[in-house]
Amino acid sequence: MKKIGIVANTDKDKVLEYTVLLHDWLSERGLEVLLDEAIAQRLGVNHGIETDRLASSVDLIVVFGGDGTMLRMARSIREHEIPVVGINMGGFGYLTEINLHEMYSAMETILGGDFQTERRMMLDVAIGREHEPLIEGVVLNDAVINRGNLSRIVELETTVDDRHLTTFRSDGIILSTPTGSTAYSLSAGGPIVFPQQECLILNPICPHTLTNRPIILPASASVKIVLWTRERGATLTLDGQVSYTLKSGDTIVIKKSKYVTILITSPDRDYMEILRTKLGWSGQPSGAVRPDAP
């Protein structure tokens, strides 16, 4: 690696300090360091580069922030298969696995070539209105159709690969990737799916019919949802960050994207440890003797 890009959430405490520290540390090792325009502006330097162009100019992007920053990054650089490593400004996250105190040791390992990457599946999302394309987007975590400020449940006519599945009467529906299975989908009762898998999780939100349960679909599936409601206010939200207002009769099509996000995983912990820590699971046996123990 010869060129390293740095992107940072400028709203985070101490992000300027750590950006400068890493910039200088990398420069001392003979690497060229390029800054995203937002953090460059905050530092008062005039050679910042807009995110998409940055991704085409470097061998690796380091992101200071949290999982939300990583989600924005994933959408912004989707056309460039560039590895990304996330350094969390708080505790480590699902996507930003490296803590601040691990920054230098992790970067030493990565620069030495001793690292692993994961290719994370993304989803294409398209809204159609009156048989015309309206909006297209890409997500790493999920696309959520929500009743928003409506006072009643919405009807979501759902087909998979042009075959009728059902009409969900619910507060909404979540279409999630495995990466997003630990986000909103988990809160709505969905399964945890290891992020290396490729599948699509369809999860109704508070369905009127209790037998409507989450469904894991193959990655090849194309899901088409038609919103039916007499009121206005339903929304489609991409990765919890970008929202669009929907109208009755709007069609939303969700399928696997040709784009992927390439994440460098932490050299210090595996996904099981991340789950235990983030979800508060017990790490070690209590020491009690099992009834069948000799």
Ramachandran category for residue 160: left, alpha or beta (phi over 0 → left; psi -120 to 50 → alpha): beta
Strand order in the sheet with 172-176: 215-218, 199-205, 172-176, 142-146, 235-238, 242-245
Strands 60-65 and 3-8: parallel
What six digits make up the tokens of 224?
């088409």
Q: Which residues form the catalytic set?
A: 67
User: Which residue from 33, 86, 103, 59 is spatially nearest to 263, judged by alpha carbons?
Assistant: 86
Q: Which amino acid is at 105?
A: S
What six digits make up the tokens of 168?
């969900």
Question: Coil, strand, or helix at residue 182?
Answer: helix
In 69-207, DSSP assigns E strands to 84-88, 117-129, 132-139, 142-146, 154-160, 163-170, 172-176, 199-205
Length of the chain: 294
Interatomic CA distance for residues 239 and 236, integer angstroms: 10
Interatomic CA distance for residues 170 and 180, integer angstroms: 20
Query: Is there a contact between 252 and 225 (Cβ–Cβ < 8 Å)?
Result: yes
Interatomic CA distance for residues 88 and 30, integer angstroms: 25
Question: Coil, strand, or helix at residue 27?
Answer: helix
